[in-house]
Amino acid sequence: MRRATITIPDDLTRAVESYIDAQDAPPSLTAVVQAALRHYLAENGYLRTRRRALRIEPAERGSKSASLLNRSGQSELEDELLAGLASGPPITPDESYWDRKRADLLRRHRKKAATG
């Protein structure tokens, strides 16, 4: 990995600090800059993103997923999928996303352990 020192203009500094402060599990400045750079380079065709093929396997008989199937071709599972699609813009889970996710899970675990 290459190390770089950069100067960030005041307006970008304020925007980045505001973004970091707004997160439940604030990412590091390095993670934010890396994510922004990845996004910019990918959007401009200079970075290939790894996209994994979606693999869907049938649920086992009697599983919760199988029991969600119900009325005439429509299912609660389809309803949940459609609700997820309509819940907001899609995200690309990059390293900073997983850092925030891990920190949030650790915080919730510690809180639960502390309250017994």
Q: How far apart are CA 74 and CA 92, in angstroms?
A: 29
pLDDT one-digit tens code per residue, 3-58: 899 999 999 999 999 999 988 888 899 999 999 998 899 888 898 877 666 666 66
Assess if residue 38 is contained within a domain. Answer: yes
User: Range of 39's domain?
Assistant: 26-48+93-99
Assess if residue 41 is contained within a domain. Answer: yes
What φ, ψ does residue 15 adopt, rounded to 5°?
-65, -45
Assess if residue 44 is contained within a domain. Answer: yes
Biggest CA-to-CA distance, the chain: 60
Q: Please tell me the pTM assigned to this model.
A: 0.43
Indicate the number of domains in the chain: 1
Assess if residue 104 is contained within a domain. Answer: no
Assess if residue 57 is contained within a domain. Answer: no
pLDDT one-digit tens code per residue, 61-108: 655 555 555 544 456 777 777 777 778 777 888 898 899 999 999 999
